[in-house]
Amino acid sequence: MSISHSAFLTTREVAELLLVSTATVRLWAKKGLLPVHSHTPGGHRRFLRADVEGLRKANTEVGGGAVAWPEQDPGAAAARFRAVIESATQGMLVLGGDGVILHANPAFGRLSGYTSVQLADMRLADLIHGGRSESTRNAATRGQVQVRLIRHDGTSFEARLRFVTLARNRADKAERLAVIEDVSGQRRGDEARRLRQRQERQLFTRSRAVGLLVDPVDGAIVDANEAAERFYGYPRERLLSLNISDLNVLSPADIEQEMVEANRQGRGYLRLPHRLSSGETRQVEVHEGPVDGPRGSLLYCVVHDVSGWVEAEKRLRQAAAVANRHGERSEGG
């Protein structure tokens, strides 16, 4: 999301500008650390850009120090900036130009298990798994990086670090603010989602039922399982170059009519003739439903070959018709 250039900012825009979560911005507003200029008719907060910029730039008035904030009066804006960091729900570290930890807020203490005393004279690299490696040091100079941070008890967690330059101290070394977000749960969720996708992929690929994934917009066949390759007689590459209309024998108007008929009869499937690579036509029932794909929603089509059943039904009707004719003759004779 891009930040607007108007005099007023939304909660999300303030969060992006200050590199914190929207929950932290709401907490600051509730505690009076960040003035709320007005509310929209829907109850949404609006902040003055000047107030937010003043809060962001206030850190230029904050000096160095070992771990605690400096005692000298930094001015009202700087005091507010200190209070904001202390009350933030996300972990925050103030880093010296050489990576030494100058200050850690309470949220980082809860996240890492370290106290301010234990963090004194430690460097950020000391908390990063493999932090002494060249690649990690280079990554930490970028605006954002994802690493594993080591807790005081030796366990570790996946964290996203975002950096913003604060000011330059007397040695002309830039101090930075590191905002730390625990993304372990997100990673576990991502891993669970990938596992589920792999399982669904295996079910689709190995299913004995003919399966096609079709783009509902243009009818392109996006994916096909092995059963579809065997049934239609096309190699996979060729099958994925086709459109579903290449398999359907009926015209679009006739397919539309079949959809109307299926709806009238309360059927959850379509009865269609499909053409194989050999030119042979098979009667099929197509059961379809929406699924999420990498490019958006797709139609998952399960195709059942009912040619034998349709032929048997046809013969039964013919036999019944012959029997009826014989019965009528017998009655007439």
Residue-wise pLDDT for 117-149, tens only, equals: 888 778 898 999 876 555 555 555 557 788 889
Using an 8 Å Cβ cutoff, are 169 and 64 in contact?
A: yes
Q: Which CATH class is domain 204-314?
A: alpha beta
* Residues pairing with 181 in the sheet: 160
Give the 3-state secondary structure of residue 206.
helix
Q: How far is CA 87 from the centre of its chain?
A: 29
Cβ count within 10 A of residue 180: 24
Q: Which of 13, 102, 116, 110 is nearest to 56 (CA)?
A: 13
Average pLDDT over the chain, rounded to an integer: 79
pTM over 0.95: no
Distance CA 311, CA 296 (A): 39
Residue-wise pLDDT for 272-287, tens only, equals: 999 999 999 999 999 9
Domain regions of the chain by residue span: 204-314
Using an 8 Å Cβ cutoff, are 307 and 282 in contact?
A: yes
pLDDT digits (tens), the chain, 333 positions: 444 557 889 998 888 877 777 877 887 888 777 888 888 877 888 988 888 887 766 544 443 333 334 334 445 656 667 777 888 888 998 888 778 888 889 999 999 999 888 887 788 989 998 765 555 555 555 577 888 899 999 999 889 888 877 755 444 455 788 889 888 876 666 666 777 767 777 788 888 899 999 998 889 999 999 999 999 999 999 999 999 999 999 988 898 899 899 888 988 899 999 999 999 999 999 998 888 776 678 889 999 999 888 777 777 777 666 667 666 666 655
Token pair of 140, please?
């930490």
Question: Over the Cα atoms of the chain, what is R_g?
Answer: 33
Token pair of 131, please?
């932090």
